[in-house]
Amino acid sequence: MKKEMLFAFAAFFFMSLSALSVVNAVEETNEIKILSEESADVTGDGIEDSIYIKAEQSDIDKKLLRNIFLHIEEKDGKVHKTPLDESGEKPSIDIKDVNNDGVNDLFISMPTGGSEQLSNFYLYTIEDEKLTEISVPEPLVIQSEFLNHYKAKINIENNNKSYKFNMKDRAKEYESLGVYYDGMLNEPMELMVLAYDTLELAKVKGNKWGLVGIQNIYGTHEEDHIAKIESSWLHHKGEWKLIKTKVKQVKKEDEGK
Ligand SMILES: [Ca+2]
Ligand SMILES: [Ca+2]
């Protein structure tokens, strides 16, 4: 009797063991991967720190990452960690002093992986030994409208600068779409002004690092590329200051370049 019970327990034990290893095998496919590894001093003590971006990689879509986080390790073992996003595609990291306090900061851009090909941007600094997020500058606020005779105008509210575009090279298409009738606008219509397509670190004032963003403006549809608007931002006294804007009209023959 005693022997039989022992056997039963043993069988149960082995069954549980194999059930456990099945669970383990499923979890292992979601293991955390190191996507990037950098060395730089981001704490201001003159000693290099190790900077990692880690994430879980999806089995089905290898490009898609889940639970992406930033992990910084100091030489003495102190760790600073923060989640970046629940999902995204391969991030890139740039390490420069962006808020001009003499200590390197971390700027990360990561494609969302959606069909719009947008990216998310994150800026982190270590302040009083704590990893703290600095918000990136908001995209420019731009009012826009089509005008008669295949023209359009925009006004950048941030610095109140206006620009006019001549789009005669698209006249035929606009007429066939019914946007214009004999050069006259059919009804009031706005252009499509998007958020940042890119946002990158660049020297924006003398030797000072800041961010430069590019926003696209489209006309009647998402292939009707009208202009690229560049904005340069400097982080000054805890706020983003708009240094300059640059507008570049896209000619029809340049589209897609
Ligand atoms: Ca350090
Ligand atoms: Ca800094």
- What distance in Å separates the CA atoms of residue 235 and residue 251, rounded to the nearest whole number? 33
Region 140-166: mean pLDDT is 97
Could you report the per-residue pLDDT of 200-256, keeping only the tens digit for each? 999 999 999 999 999 999 999 989 999 999 999 999 989 999 999 999 999 877 665
| C-alpha gyration radius of the chain | 27
Among all ligands shown, which has an atom nearest to the Cα of 95?
A: 2
Among all ligands shown, which has an atom nearest to the Cα of 126?
A: 2
Q: Which pTM does this prediction carry?
A: 0.82
Q: How far is the CA of 133 from the centre of ligand 1 (A)?
A: 18
Q: How far is the CA of 200 from the centre of ligand 2 (A)?
A: 16
Q: How far is the CA of 42 from the centre of ligand 2 (A)?
A: 8
Q: What domains are there in the chain, each with its CATH number?
A: 32-134 (2.40.128), 142-254 (no CATH)
Quickly state the pLDDT bin for 64 (edges 50, 70, 90). Answer: confident
